[in-house]
Amino acid sequence: MNLERVQQLVYELLQELGEDPEREGLKRTPERVAKAWEFLTRGYRSSPEAVLNQAVFRAPASNMVIVRNIEIFSLCEHHLLPFYGKCHVGYVARNKVLGVSKIARLADVFARRLQIQERLTEEIAGAIMEATDALGVGVVMEAKHLCMMMRGVEKQHSSMVTSSVLGSFRRDSKTREEFLNLIAASGA
């Protein structure tokens, strides 16, 4: 990311908004915004493979593994406004497991890109399925969207829920039900 170019664009945006980018409160804003965008979009400069970094372990496991309440922060690709919430990930292992922190890091790789929640949910599920060759994967995400809260319909208490179920989570209603019951036990 060309930070100097982004700083210049923010400077020009401030001018277009009718502001004076040279006034005391805004003097360093273009630099701060450029650094913030570099951080908020770091998912473009990372990959699932790099994040997993050999953290897929052989284990004689065929049980369900669940990580609940993973905080998600992303930016809506339609308005460049944040959406945030929590993500629950489960998979039925097939002799391979992921290092537990890697599941949250994997979610961040995709969340730290311009996104829609529907695609984000599917990307997380697909990456876990691919990395582990799991029997099945389930991802449920609930998020609040500032593009809906601050503008447009201005609905402050609305949230969006998406799910992606692959393999045994899709084919077997008992597996899917077990996953949903276990994440509900967290107060999700």
Residue 172 lies inside a defined structural domain of this protein: yes
CA–CA dist 69, 142 (Å, integer): 10
Query: pLDDT for 63-107, tens place per residue?
Result: 899 999 999 999 999 999 999 999 999 999 998 899 999 999 999
Any catalytic annotation for residue 145?
A: yes
Residue 45 lies inside a defined structural domain of this protein: no
Any catalytic annotation for residue 77?
A: yes
Residue 91 lies inside a defined structural domain of this protein: yes
What residue has token string 């309440």? Answer: 69
Any catalytic annotation for residue 88?
A: no
- Whole domain around residue 110: which residue ranges? 50-184
Any catalytic annotation for residue 87?
A: no
- Residue of 90, 40, 96, 38 whose CA lies nearest to 66: 90
Any catalytic annotation for residue 117?
A: yes
Query: What stretches in the chain show pLDDT beneath 70?
Result: 186-188
- CA distances for 62 relative to 38, 52, 65, 177, angstroms: 39, 20, 9, 17
Q: Which residue is catalytic, options 49, 77, 118, 177?
A: 77
